[in-house]
Amino acid sequence: MSKTVKIALAGEGGQGVQSVAEIIAEAANEEGREALYIPNFGVEQRGGVSVAYLQIGTEHIGSPKFQKADIVMALSDRAVKRTRQYVDERTTFVYDTSIEGVEEELPKNAGRILGIPAIEVSKNELHPRVFNIIIMGAVIKATGVVSEEEARAAIEKKLGYKFEQNPDLRELNFKAIARGMELVEKAQ
């Protein structure tokens, strides 16, 4: 029985963790795998940490949320604190290295901790608007839940209408996936 991969993505509102989770879930579903994605939702209108719970496997998925994740990706100071609870010795914990003074907060019990400069790369190298796509590349590299081709196809499906008007956007998004994957590869 192959294992279901459990992923928790957390960030500030606007960092796009929910759309990343949704695109990956849809890409996996397209490939005929079982996928389940649920956002956290509460009464806060603003100011909360946004968490996406994503599970991908070959068998029917059990409970929608989980206690411990295989991969946790935390993209802000508060997201690091919020997601420590999902970490155990089998968890890969990925955080953004631009978060200042977060080293003390990192979960010591994680199987491994990877720091990636995703925010910096999106600002200085690509474009802030593809930050979440860099994160998507990082997630698929760290988990192997979908291939780069599948991720590209999913983005094409989602944003194809925009790419029609501006083909450069396609290039930018695809580059962002590749860069995200590279960041994880280097950090390992």
Partner 1 sequence: MAEKPIQGEKRVFMTGNEVVAWAALAAKADIMYGYPITPQNEIMHYWTRMAPKYGKRFLQTEDELSAGFTTLGGVLAGRKAFTATAGPGNTLMQEPLSMAEMMRIPSVVIIQQRGGPSTATVIYSQQEVTMTTYGGNGEGFRIVYSTANHQELFDYTIKAFNTAWKYRFPTFVLGDGYQAKMRESLTIYDPEDRGIELVKTEPFIGKEPVNGEKQPVHIRNTYNTEEELFEVITKYLEDYTRITPEIIEHQEFDCEDADIVVVSHGVVSRAAKGAVQELRNAGLKVGYFRPVTLRPFPADRLRAVADGTKTLLMVESSLGQMAKLVKDAIFGSTVAIATLFKPGVGVTSEEIVTKVKGML
The backbone torsions φ and ψ at residue 6, rounded to the nearest 5 degrees and listed phi first, read -110, 125
Nearer to partner 1, 57 or 96 (CB): 57
Pairing of strands 71-74, 49-57: unpaired
Q: Dump the DSSP string for 76-130.
A: SHHHHHHHGGG--TT-EEEEETTSTT-GGGS-TT-SEEEEE-HHHHHHHTS-GGG
Q: Does residue 47 bind partner 1 (CB under 8 A)?
A: no
Q: Which stretch binds partner 1 (CB under 8 A): 60-68, 74-82, 93-101, 172-180?
A: 60-68
Give the nearest distance from C-beta 29 to partner 1 in angstroms. Answer: 4
Partnered with residue 74 across adjacent β-strands are: 10, 95
Q: Does residue 13 bind partner 1 (CB under 8 A)?
A: no
The backbone torsions φ and ψ at residue 89, rounded to the nearest 5 degrees and listed phi first, read -70, -10
Q: Which stretch binds partner 1 (CB under 8 A): 66-74, 92-100, 149-157, 168-176?
A: 66-74
Give the nearest distance from C-beta 66 to partner 1 in angstroms. Answer: 6
Q: Which residues bind partner 1 (CB under 8 A)?
A: 22, 25-26, 29, 34-43, 60-68
